[in-house]
Structure 1
Amino acid sequence: MTTPAVPTAPRIPEAVHRRRWAILGVLMLSLLIVVLDNSILNVAIKTISTPAPTGLGATQSELEWAINSYTLVFAGLLFTAGLLGDRMGRKKVLLGGLAVFGIGSALAAESGSPTQLIAFRALMAVGAAFVMPATLAVLMNVFEREEQPKAIGIWAGGVGLAIAIGPITGGLLLDHFWWGSVFLINVPIVLLAFGLMLWLVPESRDPNPGRVDLVGVVLSVVGLVLLVYGIIKGGELADFTDPTVLATIAAGLVVLVAFVVFEKRSDHPSVDMDYFKNKVFSAAMAVITLVFFALMGVTFFSVFYTQSVRGYSPLQSGLLLLPLAAAQLIFAPRARLVVDRFGVRVTTTAAMVVLAATLVAFATLDADTPIWLLEIVFFCMGTGMAHVMTPTSVVIMQALPREKAGSASALSNTFRQLGGALGIAVLGSVLSASYRDGIEGHLGTLPAGLRDTAGESIEATLGVAAKLGDQGRSLITPANDAFLHAMHVTALCGAGVAAVGAVVVALFLPGRPKPTPEDAAEEGELVRTKS
Structure 2
Amino acid sequence: MDNKGASRGHPRRWAILAVLAVAVFVVSIDATILNVALPTLGRELDAGTSELQWMVDAYSLVLAGLLLMAGSLSDRYGRKKLLVAGLVLFGIASVAAAFSTHSWELIAARAAMGAGASAFMPGTLSILVHVFSEEERAKAIGIWGAVTALGAVTGPLIGGALLEHFWWGSLYLVNVVVVALAVLGAAVLVPESTDPAARPLDALSTVLSVVGIAALVYGVIEQPRYGWSSPKVLAGLVGGVVVMGLFLLRQRTARHPMVDLTVVRDKRFLGSSGTMAVLMFALSGSLFVITQQFQLVLGYSPLLAGAAILPVAVALMICSPLAPVLSKVVGVRAAVVVALLVLAAGYGVFALFTKGHGYAAMVVAMALVGAGMGLAQPLVNDVLMSAGPAEQSGLLSSMNDTVQEMGSALGVAVVGSVLAARYAATYPLTGPAPATHSLDQALRTAKTMPHASAEATVSAAKSAFAHAFTASEAVCAGVAVLGAVLAAVLLPRLVAAPEGAGEPGAGEPGTAPAQSPLARETTA
Question: What's the TM-score, normalizing by structure 2?
Answer: 0.88
2:192 corresponding residue in structure 1: 203
- The residue matched to 2:10 in structure 1 has which SS? helix
- The residue matched to 2:381 in structure 1 has which SS? helix
2:410 corresponding residue in structure 1: 422
Return the letter of the residue paired with 1:302: I
Rounded to whole Å, the distance in 1 between the matches of 2:325 and 2:447 is: 53
Rounded to whole Å, the distance in 2 between the matches of 1:139 and 1:114 is: 38
Report deviation, 1:16.
Answer: 8.0
Work out whether 1:19 is the aligned partner of 2:1: no
2:507 corresponding residue in structure 1: none
Rounded to whole Å, the distance in 2 between the matches of 1:436 and 1:165 is: 31
Report deviation, 1:473.
Answer: 4.9
Rounded to whole Å, the distance in 1 between the matches of 2:289 and 2:167 is: 23
- Of residues 483, 495, 519, the one that matches 2:465 is 483
2:99 corresponding residue in structure 1: 110
1:407 corresponding residue in structure 2: 395
Rounded to whole Å, the distance in 1 between the matches of 2:52 and 2:297 is: 19
Answer yes or no: is the 8 Å Cα contact 1:12–1:144 preserved in 2: no
Report deviation, 1:179.
Answer: 2.6
- The residue matched to 1:164 in structure 2 has which SS? helix
- Of residues 341, 349, 354, the one that matches 1:361 is 349
Work out whether 1:457 is the aligned partner of 2:438: yes
Q: 1:12 to 1:427 in 2, by over 3 A?
A: farther
Return the letter of the residue paired with 1:497: V
**Residue by residue, what CA displacement relative to the aligned partner does 1:79-115 show, whole Å, maximum 9, x if unpaired?**
1111111112111111111112112222222333444
- Of residues 360, 365, 370, the one that matches 1:382 is 370
1:177 corresponding residue in structure 2: 166
176-185 vs 396-405, which deviates more? 176-185
Q: 1:426 to 1:63 in 2, by over 3 A?
A: farther
Report deviation, 1:273.
Answer: 0.5
Work out whether 1:249 is the aligned partner of 2:237: yes
Rounded to whole Å, the distance in 2 between the matches of 1:98 and 1:260 is: 30
1:213 corresponding residue in structure 2: 202
Rounded to whole Å, the distance in 1 between the matches of 2:100 and 2:87 is: 20
Answer yes or no: is the 8 Å Cα contact 1:310–1:367 preserved in 2: no
Rounded to whole Å, the distance in 1 between the matches of 2:183 and 2:136 is: 26
Work out whether 1:351 is the aligned partner of 2:339: yes
Q: Aligned runs of 1:260-279 on 2, under 5 Å?
A: 260-279=248-267
- Of residues 479, 501, 509, the one that matches 1:497 is 479
Rounded to whole Å, the distance in 2 between the matches of 1:287 and 1:179 is: 36
Return the letter of the residue paired with 2:491: L
**Residue by residue, what CA displacement relative to the aligned partner does 1:458-503 show, whole Å, maximum 9, x if unpaired?**
2233233335575645432222222222222211122221111111
Rounded to whole Å, the distance in 2 between the matches of 1:123 and 1:465 is: 40
Work out whether 1:328 is the aligned partner of 2:328: no
407-416 vs 159-168, which deviates more? 159-168
Answer yes or no: is the 8 Å Cα contact 1:327–1:386 preserved in 2: yes
Rounded to whole Å, the distance in 2 between the matches of 1:430 and 1:249 is: 19
2:420 corresponding residue in structure 1: 432
Report deviation, 1:63.
Answer: 3.4
- The residue matched to 2:176 in structure 1 has which SS? helix
**Residue by residue, what CA displacement relative to the aligned partner does 1:213-257 show, whole Å, maximum 9, x if unpaired?**
1111111110011111112222211x2122332232111101101
RMSD: 2.4
Return the letter of the residue paired with 1:159: T
May I ask how many residue pairs the two structures share in their alignment?
493
Report deviation, 1:265.
Answer: 2.0
Rounded to whole Å, the distance in 2 between the matches of 1:275 and 1:260 is: 12
Q: Aligned runs of 1:38-117 on 2, under 5 Å?
A: 38-49=31-42, 51-52=43-44, 56=45, 58-117=47-106
1:396 corresponding residue in structure 2: 384
Percent identity (aligned): 40
**Residue by residue, what CA displacement relative to the aligned partner does 1:41-79 show, whole Å, maximum 9, x if unpaired?**
233334444x34xxx454444433322222111111111
- The residue matched to 1:501 in structure 2 has which SS? helix
- The residue matched to 2:259 in structure 1 has which SS? coil
Rounded to whole Å, the distance in 1 between the matches of 2:85 and 2:388 is: 25
- Of residues 291, 294, 317, the one that matches 1:303 is 291
1:441 corresponding residue in structure 2: 429
461-470 vs 190-199, which deviates more? 461-470
- Of residues 488, 494, 499, the one that matches 1:506 is 488
1:520 corresponding residue in structure 2: none
Rounded to whole Å, the distance in 1 between the matches of 2:468 and 2:5 is: 52
**Residue by residue, what CA displacement relative to the aligned partner does 1:353-385 show, whole Å, maximum 9, x if unpaired?**
111121122223556633222112111111101
Question: What's the TM-score, normalizing by structure 1?
Answer: 0.87
Answer yes or no: is the 8 Å Cα contact 1:16–1:202 preserved in 2: no
Report deviation, 1:440.
Answer: 6.5
Report deviation, 1:277.
Answer: 2.5
Work out whether 1:34 is the aligned partner of 2:27: yes
Answer yes or no: is the 8 Å Cα contact 2:211–2:243 preserved in 1: yes
Q: 1:115 to 1:11 in 2, by over 3 A?
A: farther
Report deviation, 1:190.
Answer: 1.1
Unaligned runs of 5+ in 1: 1-9, 445-450, 515-531
